[in-house]
């Protein structure tokens, strides 16, 4: 098992190219199950989560070819069962339920794994399938869905902590082959949902309203193959922006969608950083000292929960007192204890982290608990004195394509070694 050693004190400067979005690519790859025609997907990032998804597709009977960021999938003959040993490492594996139900009218998928960041139930996914006419049974750690026919319905996808991105994706993929009209109220508005909808439309689906809280789907009898390029990964881009804020003079991000990043760039500007936009390029540079912030995670277009840990790392060395409240996954603060090991002054008050900025962090052995927490620890290590040893870095490989190599190209001093 690898670990990462971050030698603190380096100054970041230069240009980094942002990869395709993991959270778009996974459901888009799952959507290839909806047709027996070949589908081609470009800008697919080289991540362990992507590898797991392609393994699942192969297990389900797909012919899968992958080369240089392009994946071709042909799902001619399908199995409808994905057992635990196939799906256990990735929560997003649940998104094969929707397309399998839509095309084959049945599916059995083991309850998935993934990051340990609190309760992330799939009850809204199943509620949506039931509204479309499917019988749903959860037994022995498996989810079984069965529907001789799917019929359009009015479905409310609002949950306790807001809308669900994967749930919206899953129901949308099932509904495109249902009879009649489906209306998803309380739909997730994230760019990744729009990206999936655009791919489905290229396949022949009839979808309106993606990117709003109401998506209207007119079912069609069948879909055909399509070719699509995945949108840039806004969370990877946001992570590199925060890296530049923590340890940079000036960094430039290429191949991004600045509109998708406003929820990150606006707070960074409030904290005193200069952010400049030019087409698909973002530039961040320092403008004096950093200021404290008050942030609350919210569904898109609000501040993303997937950037909460990284921003905590930045605010840990920003003068003054900052507050970060987590509304999406209230238990998503496992990185706080590790940042405190590095000298951060952070206290939890229910779902709010009260962060009193310190002048300097110190390198220490720390443990990554989830994908974004591991990124936050890498960023904190950039600003720490000495060496930060980050264990369980398999988490970071789930969502960041060669993050250590990209940071080193900007001037960081990071080693990946065998534990």
Coil/strand/helix, residue 286: coil
Fold match between domain 2-18+232-418 and domain 22-229: yes
| CATH number, span 2-18+232-418 | 3.65.10.10
Coil/strand/helix, residue 56: helix
Residues in the chain: 419
Catalytic, 115? Answer yes
Phi first, then psi: what are they for 39, rounded to 5°? -125, 140
Strand partners, 352: 325, 349
The tally of CA atoms less than 13 A away on the side-chain side of residue 264 is 30
Which of 39, 95, 115, 312 is the catalytic position?
115
CATH topology of domain 22-229: UDP-n-acetylglucosamine1-carboxyvinyl-transferase; Chain (3.65.10)
The pLDDT tens digits along the chain (419 residues) read 789 999 999 999 999 999 999 999 999 999 999 999 999 999 999 999 999 999 999 999 999 999 999 999 999 989 999 888 888 777 778 899 999 999 999 999 987 654 443 445 788 999 999 999 999 998 888 889 999 999 999 999 988 777 899 999 999 999 999 999 999 999 999 999 999 999 999 999 999 999 999 999 999 999 999 999 999 999 999 999 999 999 999 999 999 999 999 999 999 999 999 999 999 999 999 988 899 999 999 999 999 999 999 999 999 999 999 999 999 988 899 999 999 999 999 999 999 999 999 989 999 999 988 899 999 999 999 999 999 999 988 889 989 999 999 999 999 999 999 87
Domain ranges (residues) in the chain? 2-18+232-418, 22-229
Q: Give the whole-angstrom CA distance, residue 324 versus residue 349.
A: 10
pTM here?
A: 0.96
Count CB neighbours of 418 within 10 A.
6
DSSP states along 406-419: HHHHTT--EEEEE-
End-to-end CA distance of the chain: 6
DSSP 151: B
């Amino acid at each position: 098992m690898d670990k990462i050693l971050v030698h603190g004190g380096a100054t970041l400067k230069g240009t980094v190219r942002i990869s395709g979005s993991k959270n778009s690519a996974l459901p888009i790859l799952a959507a290839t199950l909806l047709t027996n025609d070949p589908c081609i997907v470009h800008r697919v990032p080289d991540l362990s989560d992507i590898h797991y998804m392609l393994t699942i597709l192969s297990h389900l009977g797909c012919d899968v070819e992958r080369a240089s960021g392009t994946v071709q999938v042909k799902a001619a003959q399908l199995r409808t069962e994905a057992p635990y040993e196939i799906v256990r490492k990735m929560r997003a594996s649940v998104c094969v339920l929707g397309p399998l139900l839509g095309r084959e009218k049945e599916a059995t998928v083991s309850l998935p794994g993934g990051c340990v960041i609190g309760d992330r139930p799939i009850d809204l996914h199943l509620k949506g399938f039931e509204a479309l006419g499917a019988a749903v049974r959860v037994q022995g750690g498996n989810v079984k869905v069965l529907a001789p026919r799917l019929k359009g319905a009015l479905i409310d996808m609002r949950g306790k902590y807001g809308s669900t991105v994967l749930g919206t994706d899953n129901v949308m993929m099932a509904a495109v082959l249902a009879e009649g009209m489906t209306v998803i109220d309380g739909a997730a508005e994230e760019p990744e949902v729009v990206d999936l909808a655009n791919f489905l439309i290229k396949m022949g689906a009839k979808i309106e309203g993606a990117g709003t809280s109401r998506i209207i789907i007119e079912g069609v009898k069948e879909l055909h193959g399509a070719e699509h390029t995945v949108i840039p990964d806004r969370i990877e881009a946001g992570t590199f922006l925060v890296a530049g804020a923590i340890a940079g003079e000036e960094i430039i991000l290429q191949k991004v969608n600045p509109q998708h990043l406003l929820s990150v760039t606006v707070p960074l500007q409030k904290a005193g950083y200069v952010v400049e936009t030019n087409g698909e390029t973002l530039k961040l540079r320092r403008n004096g000292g950093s200021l404290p912030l008050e942030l609350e995670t919210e569904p898109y277009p609000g501040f993303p929960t997937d950037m909460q840990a990284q921003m905590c790392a930045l605010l840990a060395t920003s003068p003054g007192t900052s507050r970060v409240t987590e509304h999406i996954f209230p238990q998503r603060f496992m990185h706080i204890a590790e940042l405190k090991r590095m000298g951060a002054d952070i206290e939890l008050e229910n779902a709010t982290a009260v962060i009193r900025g310190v002048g300097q962090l110190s390198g220490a052995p720390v443990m990554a608990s989830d994908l974004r927490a591991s990124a936050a620890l890498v960023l904190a290590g950039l600003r720490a004195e000495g060496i930060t040893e980050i264990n369980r870095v398999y988490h970071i490989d789930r969502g960041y394509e060669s993050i250590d190599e990209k940071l080193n190209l900007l001037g960081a001093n990071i080693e990946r070694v065998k534990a």
